[in-house]
């Protein structure tokens, strides 16, 4: 049986499954609430499910998802270490951009997921997801760096925008940028953890100490082991 945060996220996923707050609820094959490690420090936020995601009810399972996994792998992380979700939970027909009223209808789900997950870094993927946290920012100007002043972030979280992996599939020239930015995001983790813990006081410090060793720490340990 799931406990605590994972159970609360699963309950929220059930609510999303039966949501009819906007017309997308009638077009979908499946809602796509998001999935991953309930204790993840890294949260990736996409725009909306596509056809592959709608077919199975899971986020980033198509070509963009495969590239996301590959990018994570380059930094020693796996999908199981992180949490992945979308701003809106149902596929817009023909993959059109989500309408403002669809984003508004889904906003409280995103808000509640963010509050439950309380990640250290929130990484919006692409301009539509970025808009949910920094309405005036341009992805081409802010990708690959922590962006101060985000809205709607959980306490102490760092906003770290990335290009959407689908953008790098359409335009191969963005691929090295995305690889570099993913590396920068992981290198930002120690500083982001410090900001997160200091915003949360003693409870934050305690949660950081309780966390499983992160992938990069585990990798470091592996290399240390080899050197011995």
Residue ranges that bind ligand URA, judged by CB under 6 A:
46-50, 53, 59-60, 62, 64, 86, 166
CB of 56 to ligand URA, least distance (A): 10
DSSP state of 123: E
What are the phi and psi torsion angles at 152 (to 5°)? Answer: 70, 20
State whether residue 218 is helix, strand or coil: helix
Minimum separation from the CB atom of position 71 to ligand URA (A): 14
The percent helix, strand, coil of the chain (3-state, each to 5) is 55, 10, 35
Closest chain position to ligand URA (CB) = 46
Residue 108: exposure state from Cβ atoms within 10 A (0-12, 13-18, ≥19)? exposed
- CA 99: distance to chain centroid? 21
Cβ proximity to ligand URA: between 106 and 166 the closer is 166
CB nearer to ligand URA: pick between 66 and 200: 66
CB of 193 to ligand URA, least distance (A): 26
Q: Which residue's CB is nearer to ligand URA, number 127 or number 193?
A: 127
Shortest distance in whole angstroms from residue 86 CB to ligand URA: 5
For residues 15 and 109, what is the distance between their CA atoms, to the nearest angstrom? 9
Residue 33 CB burial class (10 angstroms; 0-12, 13-18, ≥19): buried
Distance in Å, CB of 113 to ligand URA, minimum: 14
If you ran DSSP here, which 8-state letter would residue 33 be given? -
Choice between 88 and 197, CB closer to ligand URA: 88
Nearer to ligand URA, 19 or 197 (CB): 19
């Amino acid at each position: 049986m799931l406990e605590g945060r994972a159970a609360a996220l699963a309950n929220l996923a059930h609510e999303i499954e039966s949501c009819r707050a906007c017309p997308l609820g009638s077009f979908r094959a499946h809602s796509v609430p998001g999935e991953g490690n309930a204790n993840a420090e890294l949260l990736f936020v996409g725009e909306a499910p596509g056809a592959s995601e709608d077919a199975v009810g899971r986020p980033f399972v198509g070509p963009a998802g495969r590239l996301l996994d590959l990018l994570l792998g380059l930094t020693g992380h796996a999908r199981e270490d992180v949490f992945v979700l979308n701003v809106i939970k149902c596929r817009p027909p023909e993959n059109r951009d989500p309408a403002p009223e669809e984003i508004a209808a889904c906003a409280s789900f995103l808000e509640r997921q963010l509050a439950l997950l309380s990640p250290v870094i929130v990484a919006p993927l692409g301009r539509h997801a970025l808009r949910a946290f920094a309405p005036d920012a341009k992805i081409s100007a802010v990708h690959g760096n922590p962006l101060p002043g985000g809205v709607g972030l959980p306490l102490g979280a760092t906003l770290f925008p990335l290009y959407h992996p689908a953008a790098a599939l359409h335009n191969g020239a963005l691929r090295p940028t995305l690889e570099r930015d993913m590396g920068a995001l992981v290198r930002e983790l120690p500083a982001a953890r410090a900001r997160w813990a200091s915003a949360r006081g003693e409870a934050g410090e305690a949660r950081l100490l309780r966390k499983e060793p992160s992938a990069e720490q585990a990798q470091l340990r592996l290399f240390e082991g080899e050197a011995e």
